[in-house]
């Protein structure tokens, strides 16, 4: 079984400050990890993924995420937040051992609000 | 760019009606998914399909069925709509069974059952 937790429903930051959106996961094997963003009245858009290799993954719009195996975490980060980053963010996980058609488990989402 | 198109952005139906939600993708993806999204509950998988005519239940299949007669099209069917099926429905697709392939989402159908 696989699961993912986003412990914060809401994250508020000021424009220009660094931001972190937290994600922890649980899988029986090794994980594939993803971050997606959802803007109002739109579907989810893929931001970045961790498969293997370097623990720091860079993605779209200046976002990056750090994989930490010992803490089973995959936190999303950005050095300098923009007001336009305000959106709903989802973390997702797949267990490498799960052969079910690319099926991922999604977290409940974190609403990021960046204030000017 | 991958495009996943859901036939309706907004839909209003009555209790007991049979409701069809359609989804089409244009990138020859093998996998297709239907989710519902509710505030505070994140995304919950209803059904998915990894090939034509193949379907598997997700986490909340009760009250729903699906059809995949062509590779590009995946339909979600509410056999007898109920008010607790009022929700945002999202369709997604992904390439092959490649474990590292992200999903591509449509813009959603906001369904209201009166």
| B33-61 pLDDT per residue, tens | 999 999 888 899 999 998 899 999 999 99
pLDDT band at B97; cut points 50, 70, 90: low
Q: How high does pLDDT run on average in chain A?
A: 92
B71 in contact with chain A, both atoms CB, cutoff 8 A: no
- Region class of A83: left (phi > 0), else alpha (psi between -120 and 50), else beta: alpha
For residue A108, the chain B residue with the least C-alpha distance is B42
- Judging by beta carbons within 10 Å of its beta carbon (0-12, 13-18, 19+), is residue B56 exposed, middle or buried? middle
Which residues from A are below 8 Å from B97, CB to CB? 99, 101-102
B30 touches chain A (CB under 8 A): yes
What pLDDT is stored for residue A100 in this prediction? Answer: 61
Q: What is the mean pLDDT of residues B79-95?
A: 95
Asked if A102 lies within 8 A of B98 by C-beta distance, the reply is yes
Q: What is the mean pLDDT of residues A59-65?
A: 95
More confident residue, A28 or A83: A83
Residue B73 has pLDDT above 80, yes or no: yes
Of B42, B100, B108, the CB nearest to A43: B108
CA distance B57 to chain A (A): 11
pLDDT score for B101: 82
Tell me how far the alpha carbon of residue A93 is from its chain's centroid: 9
Q: pLDDT tens for residues A77-103?
A: 999 999 999 999 999 998 777 666 567
- Using a pLDDT cut of 90, give the percent of chain B over it: 77
Which chain B residue has its CA at the smallest distance from A47's CA? Answer: B102
Amino acid A65: pLDDT:
97
């Amino acid at each position: 079984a696989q699961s993912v937790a986003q412990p914060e429903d809401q994250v508020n930051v000021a424009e220009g400050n660094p931001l972190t959106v937290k994600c922890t996961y649980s899988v029986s094997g090794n994980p594939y990890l993803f971050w997606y963003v959802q803007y109002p009245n739109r579907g989810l858009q893929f931001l970045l993924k961790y498969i293997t290799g370097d623990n720091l993954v860079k993605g779209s719009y200046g976002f990056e995420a750090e994989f930490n195996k010992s803490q089973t975490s995959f936190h999303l980060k950005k050095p300098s937040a923009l007001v336009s980053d305000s959106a709903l963010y989802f973390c997702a996980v797949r267990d490498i051992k799960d052969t079910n058609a690319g099926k991922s488990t999604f977290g409940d989402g974190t609403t990021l609000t960046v204030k000017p | 760019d991958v495009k996943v198109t859901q036939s309706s952005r907004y839909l209003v139906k009555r209790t007991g009606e049979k409701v069809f939600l359609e989804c089409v993708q244009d990138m020859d993806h093998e996998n297709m998914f239907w989710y519902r999204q509710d505030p505070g509950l994140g995304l919950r998988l209803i059904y998915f399909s990894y090939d034509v005519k193949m379907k598997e239940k997700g986490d909340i299949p009760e009250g729903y069925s699906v059809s995949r007669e062509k590779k590009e099209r995946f339909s979600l069917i509410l056999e007898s709509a109920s008010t607790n099926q009022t929700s945002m429905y999202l369709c997604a697709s992904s390439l092959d069974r490649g474990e590292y392939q992200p999903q591509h989402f449509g813009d959603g159908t906001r369904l209201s059952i009166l």
